[in-house]
Amino acid sequence: MELIRIADVQKTYKNGVVALYDFDLSIKKGEFVFVIGASGSGKSTLIKMLYREEKPDKGEIIIGGINVAKLKNRKVYILRRKLGVVFQDFKLLPKLTVYENVAFALEVFAWDKKEIYKRVMQVLDLVGLKHKVRQYPDQLSGGEQQRVVIARAIVNKPKLLICDEPTGNLDPDTSMEIMKVLEEINNMGTTIIMATHDRDIVNKMKKRVIVIEEGKLVKDYEKGQYYNERA
């Protein structure tokens, strides 16, 4: 079943830069897709359009039945509920504990305390941080902080997890650990789309790889590798 459909999309920024054009992409529920390409090729623009941080000036973006390109600002929350987002910089709340950083994302839905506790501990267990619930972000390593971010991103059971360079600030071993966590989340049914520059990761994971060059999707490998892309 199709989860994301992008058809004939074009994105022009106010300064006239055409960041994406003639862009078509279909992603099925449960897929793991790497987005690769040189700096400035349009990866972040694609990612931003998926969570409706940017709007295309032409074309269609449908995610789980929601027409993202046409979504009104006051309805964006309906889309965001279906998504989790993980960035390169961790953006945890420094004054909250690990537990609170994750629970914070749930409490907006007014769950009861017991349910919150159960779900938060479940995701912290999944990312291997159950034993650090009372620590503060600055007491954690970079890899651990990113695990908390991932836990926070999936605590509401999103259908889609969007990752923009999630290992960009991490060393190779820590990056692979993060990838194992993401793979496990994917194996549990969450669709993942991840923009990255990391050749080793892409080559080791053997997932679908799409290549963007100067705003255009130029290649789509089913079990991809970096090959000789310029990226």
Is residue 47 within 8 A of residue 162, CB to CB? The reply is yes
CA distance 178 to 43: 20
Is residue 221 within 8 A of residue 195, CB to CB? The reply is no
Give the 3-state secondary structure of residue 11: strand
Member of 4, 6, 32, 37 binding ligand ADP (CB under 6 A): 37
- 90 φψ region: left (φ > 0), alpha (ψ -120 to 50), beta (else): alpha
41 binds ligand ADP (CB under 6 A): yes
For 176, residues 6+ apart whose C-beta sits below 8 A from its C-beta are 200, 201, 204
Residue closer to ligand ADP (CB basis): 179 or 211: 211
17 binds ligand ADP (CB under 6 A): yes
127 binds ligand ADP (CB under 6 A): no
55 binds ligand ADP (CB under 6 A): no
52 binds ligand ADP (CB under 6 A): no
230 binds ligand ADP (CB under 6 A): no
User: How far apart are CB 170 and ligand ADP at their closest, in Å?
Assistant: 18
19 binds ligand ADP (CB under 6 A): yes
Name the token pair of 173. 């071993």
The binding site for ligand ADP (CB under 6 A) comprises 13, 15, 17, 19, 37, 39-45
